[in-house]
Amino acid sequence: MSRPNILFMIADDHRHSALGALGIEAVSTPTFDQLIADGACFTQAHIMGSTSGAVSMPSRGMLMSGCGLFHTPDPLPVDVPLLPELLRQNGYRTFGTGKWHNRRGSYARCFGESGKVFFGGMNDQYAMPVNDFDPAGAYPPEETYIADGFATTVFSDEMINFLNQRGPDDDEPFFAYIAYTSPHDPRTPPPPYDTMYDPADIEVPPNFMPEHPFDIGVRDIRDEVLAGYPRGEDEIKQHIADYYGMISHMDHDIGRILETLEARGLRENTVVIYTSDHGLGVGQHGLMGKQNLYDHSMRIPLIMRGPGVPAGLRSRALLYLLDLYPTLLEMAGVAVPEHTAGHSLSALLNELTYMHRRQIFSAYQGVFGHPAGAPYQRSIKNDRNKLIQTVVDGEETWQLFDLTSDPFEVNDLIDDPASAALVERLKADLKKRATRVEDPVFASA
């Protein structure tokens, strides 16, 4: 079989549970639901965390570089080959459109063709500053202009235009990458999605709280001041309704892309991936943003369909987003660089195992490195339990959750005497994993 095409779609702020097919949240996602039915859905996919309040930047950097969190600086290192860059060097036609949060130079390394691209983190969805393809790779800021239309549709149209130039008999495989700014705020879905969800019909999540029970060092960052303190149920319901509207609209536009893929005769030899750079609180645990280590922020949707992907696979294997780096290189027949911290999903996709990673280590801190006194969070998670450490102003707080009986992380067991031995084991595991990934907090301890 010829090397597969790869269509890679990534959202901004789409949490793992906001997929209709999973039956957790009341959001309409028929396109994603059909992708899940036709392919594989990994329900325990995570990001490794962030060294920035702009969580998408290191998250996307890890995906592109295959490096772990503490080896993914900004800008991305020039001596590390990026995923599309490697594919491009090995015979793939590479096309990108949408958000690129990892600077212009790295974008130019990755893509030989481009639709409209937004170099930044967030902006008005109806006034997205974009650049057209620059063959010289400079993408000068003075050539930036405001796109005409809603960002999701603008970027989807660019991808559709690219696919319409392709056919099943083209010899050169492609890697086509679209990065949405949805459902990131400002959450202003276009009609009719702006009224698709009535806030009065929205149920607040089981872990809704008016305020987080203690300070985790993020109270005054931009994401957290999008709603008042304490959080009111009516306000949160409106935020959720807007969030769902953004997701349902994006689901519709992705449906248009997949229809084009099929119409061009490209479905059978194209691996389709849908994922997100992180999740979002939107009222869970009294938090609005993603600068925390709860599952609503660290877990992401991950759906795959196409050649080499079994239909109907629903996997709970623990994995990282950066595990796609070696996975896609293997699918493309490209040698995987030794530097990668990712572990290929090939054994899961071949149904040779149901396990992948034994534990998930996560970290959050607002700045790279470890300045004295800076707040930070660390966690370790296995297939049942999660331990979270938070340090703010030198004060340390620990939390323990049994994720089997308490998937919304509401019942903190840290003070339960019956959990004492488990806590000590998990603390030792946390230190071991942190040391292995060269976490500066533990290196300086």
- Annotate 277-291 with DSSP letters as a single string: S----TTBTT--SS-
Cα dist from 165 to 95, 214, 414, whole Å: 12, 54, 57
Q: Where are the domains of the chain?
A: 5-349, 366-443
pLDDT tens digits, 273-291 = 999 999 999 999 999 999 9
Residue 209 sits at the vertex; the CA angle it makes with 203 and 215, to the nearest 5 degrees, is 150
Tens digits of per-residue pLDDT, 6-57?
Answer: 999 999 999 999 999 999 999 999 999 999 999 999 999 999 999 999 999 9
Whole-prediction pTM value? 0.97
Helices (H) and strands (E) in the chain, counts: 11, 18
183: alpha, beta or left, given left = phi > 0 and alpha = psi -120 to 50? alpha
What is the reported pLDDT for 445?
57
Give me the percent of the chain exceeding a pLDDT of 70.
Answer: 98
CATH class of segment(s) 366-443: alpha beta
Banded pLDDT at 298 (limits 50, 70, 90) = very high
Give the model's pLDDT for residue 367: 74
Tokens representing 302 are 């991950």
Burial of 152 (0-12, 13-18, 19+ CB in 10 A): buried
Please report the pLDDT score of residue 17 as a whole number.
98
Give residue 369's pLDDT: 60
| Residue 79's pLDDT band (cuts 50, 70, 90) | very high
Domain 5-349 has CATH 3.10.420.10: no
pLDDT at 371 exceeding the cut of 70:
no
Of 266, 293, 265, 268, nearest in space to 279 by CA: 293
